[in-house]
Amino acid sequence: MNALTGIAVSPGIVWGPAALLVQDSVTLRYVITPAHVAREIARLDAAREATRRQLERIHARVLASAGPDLAYLFQAQLLMLDDQLLVPRAQAIVSAERLNAEWAVERAFEEFSAIFMDVEDGYLRERRGDVADVIGRLRRNLVPMPRRTGELSLNLDEPSILVAGELPPSVAGQLDRNRVIGLAMDAGSRTDHSAILARSLRLPTVASLRVATQLASPGVLILLDGYSGDVVIDPDHAMIDRARAKAERKWVSVPVARHLVQPASTADGVAIRFDANIELPDEIDVARANGAEGVGLFRSEFMLGGRTLDSVGEQEQYEAYRNLVERMAPHPVTIRTFDVDESRMAGRPGDRPPEGSAEPSRGPLGLRAIRLCLSRPDVFGTQLRALARAARHGPLRVLFPFVASVDELRQARVALFDAGLAVASGRGDQAPSIAVGAMIEVPSAAMTVDLLAAEADFFSIGTNDLIQYTLAVDRTDGRVARLYEPLHPAVLRLVRAVTRAAGRWGRPVAVCGEMASDPAALIALLGLGVTSFSMSPALIPAARQIVREVSLSDVRRVVARALRLASAQQIAAHLLSAYPGIIKRSNGRTTQSGVEGDNGER
């Protein structure tokens, strides 16, 4: 028997035989003669087209099973497939260096990876996994039939727990829930796309186990707890009995439509607002369908694609922002200004700086986001003028990221004011009114909200960064990711400090991070005074349902007691004891050897 502990990314308790998915990373490398260059380029073209057809089928499958907000992951992979830095770059390597196609693809991926690893934003770094997924599929499609394994075919005799090293999103999107009842991964985090897909599929999952594929053998019994992150290989009967007792709760899924006809308010009548986090304008329709009352966070850097800030002009930005505002009208759209590092300012990410210029800073604490924009008023002004023009077409709010001081926020606000004046057409034409917000992502901002309030109209707490900078934990580093604890007393006390200080100044506070996707954390945030949330559209209906079932006055008493506890584990247990039905039911279903304990309402 072996017991492992990883990161619980999708709740539920399951046990069953193991099925191992081990990816072959062997790459055939050899130098080709000039006569074979055309042949290798043609192989790359054929592999790209085979990959395209497979991704289109996966997209259709995920669209039918999980909805458009997750299916877009594979639309993004289709776009990556045509990126100049992938297949065209590999073909260029074939021509210039006369490497075989497999080797050239590997080289192109190494170059692309270097770009992503240099990006300071942790969210963007995690997207490297999506590129690796596309590359892996390309490489498999370079293998002649019938040895190719581009499509996942799991003809399992009985429902099993899939044990994998690193599960690419396109493979996760193909999992048959009738055959795969749980997922244990050596790598991964709570916020990568495979984890998001697993939660959407309600597939109990534990990530970052590191050695599960080494210790598990095909067919061995696996016990997986997606609540605690514990995985036991070859458990005894007593452990299964205890798991069975723990798994007595039932999953209840309430139809989306029923949520949306009900007001988003607590049982004691306090209104709670839910907005959507989006990255693409096409997600507006999904946000509306899931009951979003507005866009609480549009990550403007995603409109760049692989381009630099210098390459996106005012008119292009204006049209994009106007499109968002008009499609969401009359509801407000909150647009976060570019949250990128300096490598995206001029030149492709990862490019070396011009000779004689300063070396770009590395790591997440360098020149980034608002600091970077203030250092380049020409580029910053272009975005702010585009935002000011778009604000004439509907309610638009501007959110400045990574604010750490009053001076930064004051300078940004002045720049926005100047941009508004610049787009005014002349005498008598008033600059558009735009609400200004500051993201609370670092402890210095959290502790000075009373000072920032003089310059901000609203605040948005970015819990992903706030947690990692408060706890000094890189959530993308599997070795320490388990220390990333949203319910840590320090995190909760910081959030309370923010809501109290903002409340004294009459400034609304929203939470736009991943934290609110966890039912216990959502209840904790309500108790800390947060009454506005922005999250992935798919999560909004379930969150609205939780809100409707709790009394805010009761929640405040429960959370006040939780703040006196010493650890995240104690706080989680305290919240679970206070709201066992809501948290257990919302966390997911339980499954015994593939037979779902799902007799709740649908």
What's the confidence (pLDDT) of residue 563? 95
Instruction: Show the tokens assigned to 467.
Output: 């947690």
Strand segments, DSSP code E, in 77-216 are: 160-164, 180-185, 205-207
Label residues 171-207 b or e (16+ Cβ within 10 Å = b). bbbbbeeebbbbbbbbbbbbbbbbbbbbbbbbbbbbb
Question: Can you give the length of the chain in residues?
Answer: 602
Catalytic member of 59, 259, 373, 512: 512
What distance in Å separates the CA atoms of residue 227 and residue 210, rounded to the nearest whole number?
A: 18
What distance in Å separates the CA atoms of residue 341 and residue 358, rounded to the nearest whole number?
A: 14
512 belongs to the catalytic site: yes
pLDDT digits over 129-172, tens only? 778 888 888 887 887 654 444 445 455 667 888 888 877 776 77
What's the confidence (pLDDT) of residue 364? 64
What's the confidence (pLDDT) of residue 102? 84
Instruction: Show the tokens assigned to 315.
Output: 């008119």
What's the confidence (pLDDT) of residue 259? 47
What's the confidence (pLDDT) of residue 118? 61
Instruction: Show the tokens assigned to 189.
Output: 């985090």
Catalytic member of 59, 193, 331, 488: 193
What's the confidence (pLDDT) of residue 522? 95
Q: Which residues of the chain have pLDDT under 70?
A: 22-29, 66-67, 69, 116-128, 144-157, 170, 190-192, 200, 247-263, 282, 305-306, 343-364, 425-429, 476-478, 586-602
What distance in Å separates the CA atoms of residue 336 and residue 438, rounded to the nearest whole number?
A: 9
DSSP at 265? B
What's the confidence (pLDDT) of residue 197? 74
Residues with Cβ within 8 Å of 504's Cβ and at least 6 positions away in sequence, in order, are 450
What's the confidence (pLDDT) of residue 599? 31
331 belongs to the catalytic site: no
